[in-house]
Amino acid sequence: MSETSKRASDIMIARLVLLGLFIAASAIYFPWRLTVFNPEAPVFSALFYAVELIGFVWGIIFLLSVLKISKPRTLPVQPGLAVDVFIPTYNEPVDIVRRTVVAALRISYPHETWVLDDGNRAEMRAMAEELGCRYIARDKNTNAKAGNLNNALLQAKGEFIALFDADFIAEPRFLDRTLGYFADPKIAFVQTPQEYYNFDSYQYFGPDRAREAWSEHSLFYRVIQAGRDTYNGAMFCGCSAVLRRAALDSVGGVATGTVTEDMHTSVRLHDAGWSSAYHAETLSAGLAPHDAQGFRKQRLRWAQGAMQVFRTEKLIRGAKGLSPFQRLAYLMHVISHMEGLRHTFIYLTPVVALGLGLSPFRFDLTFGEWAMFALPGIILGIFCFEEFARGHARILRNEIFNLARCPTSMRSLLKLVDTRHLAFIVTPKTKAQHDSFLFPWIILALTLAAMAKVAWELAHGTSRLVGWPLVTVMTWAVLSAAMAACVCLLTRRCAKNRRNFSRFPVTLQATVQPENAPAAKINAVVTELADGGITLRAQDGESPLPQTRCKVALRIGGQEIPLTLDLQPRNDGKSSGGSLIWKNKAEQDDYFYLMMVDRIRWLATFDDIEQKTYLGWLLPRRESRVQVSG
């Protein structure tokens, strides 16, 4: 056994011990918890207990589902496979789709690229003809994206279908890295992670978001999907995937009747006995919703679609072809979209407790008793979550996004009983003109008002909550208020951002040559890239760059590309930058493509499932022992 395998075995044993301790602590806590109900508020105490118990069960299922995870494999690819690359579009701007098409055409494995234009636009047709890809349009948009794909399947004849949303840029090795899985004739689809390159978007949170590449989606694509893959339960996510045409044909094509055709199709393929594979390597990147409005629209469609699939496919007792693990995976996915109700109860609990002077615990509960029975489970639970997430979760940040999703989650529950048709809402690719998100403000205002009420009562000696119960509830209220405030700040930050494209921090070599002094060449370092401009400084960090029109030879992705820009000094006094001047569309296409491939490969550096974790830090590395013979 290699040293790497031994260390992985040590970490797995440590995780099992940690999980066992958490279960043991919870087995002590929950029976004890029944003995400290507040007799003055039995209904409130019972509801709170139910919420705690549901959270525990949900947590245990999550921990067990990611106990083992798959890793990407490098498999030989059979030459000569017939592959079609589909790019469905409806109302996305032509310049965004153009970037996707340019990247798709440059995928190295031989294929044919198709633009599926449900907007039936003359300018989209002209773009497709200019770039040399196939173009399909429909007169009617029946069944939205699913209908668009099924219509294309009638005309394209490839054995395999690679699918990218209109804003997703593919890395050139995409097919080389995924087609090998189809040597197994039972594989219906291979899903890869969906990453996003606009770091100013709503789902990126944190002061260093453009460098740490953590988003709200990181846990799902870097851990949960890889865990589900170990029991053939990875889900098709509608983009950045390859599907076998024969598998689609066997289930009647892409599933219609819901607004999440991806999950719906995935259920039907697994139900029909097909297998799936998850290749946990970032090979594409797209645009995440820019603001709170786009985020809510996208999450509402996903949540409502999950409810529709749950109802139409009868996921509890129907879909008889699903294995128990597959069924559990899909039910977990549906339940994750129902969590808004439970989380809202959690956020409002301190408001009720402080506002009405109630507590889900007995008023005479002491800190010592609480610390003995409750604190170990809380600490071990947090430890388990972050450890099993393998460094791809941030518990407070995850809770901030849980709060942001609450309204759409609760609204989607209506689709469990409402069978009326839902319109397919395309995720906006540009910023909203006006965006108001009231839910976090309501939580913040109610929490602050309840805290102020208790502060007034304490000052006048009339508060019912005193001692340790008061400290507990006030701490909880502070955390709820802080998370609501973070959502408000995130919403405001995105609303104020005027860019539809992020700037990328980089360190790339370049040569600057002023047009008015062609003999002068200055070595420089490019520190920032954007779709329309760059920032750079002299290589020595001190010499000024010429403030004039310059030729810049940028070295990126193993190539050197010529650029032209008018250099102007930046505010820091050391850097210069400017807008790029394009000679033609092809030059612009090349620059954007190479920039995006560089960013995709940078994002892939975060693919390692085992990021920094507590156990990885605590457990010493085994030293190699070399036996020397004399």
Q: What is the DSSP string of 473-513?
A: HHHHHHHHHHHHHHHHHHHHHHHH---SS--EEEEEEEEEE
Secondary structure (3-state) at 519: coil
Tokens of 386: 């972050």
Integer Cα distance of 304 and 413 in angstroms: 7
Secondary structure (3-state) at 400: helix
Cα–Cα distances (Å) from 408 to 148, 337, 624, in that order, read 26, 9, 53
* Cβ-contact 191, 241 below 8 angstroms: yes
Q: How many other C-beta atoms can be found within 10 angstroms of the C-beta atom of residue 176?
A: 17
Secondary structure (3-state) at 187: strand
**Given 84, 118, 165, 589, which residue is catalytic?**
118
Closest CA to 193 of 225, 145, 163, 216: 225
Integer Cα distance of 584 and 274 in angstroms: 47
Whether the pLDDT of residue 392 is over 90: the answer is no
**pLDDT the model gives residue 101:** 98
* Cβ-contact 552, 561 below 8 angstroms: no
Q: Structural domain boundaries of the chain?
A: 3-65+339-496, 83-199+218-289, 504-606
Position 32 confidence tier, pLDDT thresholds 50, 70, 90 = very high
Report the predicted TM-score, pTM, of the whole model to 2 decimal places: 0.92
Integer Cα distance of 568 and 83 in angstroms: 47
Cα–Cα distances (Å) from 388 to 73, 231, 301, 384, 613, in that order, read 22, 17, 29, 6, 9
Secondary structure (3-state) at 419: coil
Tokens of 290: 């820019």
Say which amino acid occupies 181: Y
Catalytic status, residue 262:
yes
Cα–Cα distances (Å) from 341 to 33, 217, 244, 397, in that order, read 22, 21, 38, 19
* Cβ-contact 87, 97 below 8 angstroms: yes
Per-residue pLDDT tens digits for 243-266: 999 999 999 999 999 999 999 999
**pLDDT the model gives residue 500:** 65
Integer Cα distance of 616 and 14 in angstroms: 10
Per-residue pLDDT tens digits for 108-142: 999 999 999 999 999 999 999 999 999 999 988 89
Q: Which fold has domain 504-606?
A: Thrombin, subunit H (2.40.10)
Per-residue pLDDT tens digits for 520-550: 888 999 999 988 899 999 988 777 888 889 9
**pLDDT the model gives residue 280:** 94
* Cβ-contact 386, 317 below 8 angstroms: no
Residues 6 or more apart whose Cβ sits within 8 Å of residue 474: 350, 354, 451, 454
Q: What angle do CA 355, 360, 365 make, to 5 degrees?
A: 110
**Given 165, 167, 229, 262, which residue is catalytic?**
262
Position 1 confidence tier, pLDDT thresholds 50, 70, 90 = low
**pLDDT the model gives residue 628:** 36
* Cβ-contact 337, 302 below 8 angstroms: yes
Catalytic status, residue 118:
yes
Integer Cα distance of 243 and 153 in angstroms: 12
CATH code: domain 83-199+218-289 is 3.90.550.10
Residues 6 or more apart whose Cβ sits within 8 Å of residue 490: 202, 205, 292, 400, 404
> CA gyration radius for the chain?
27
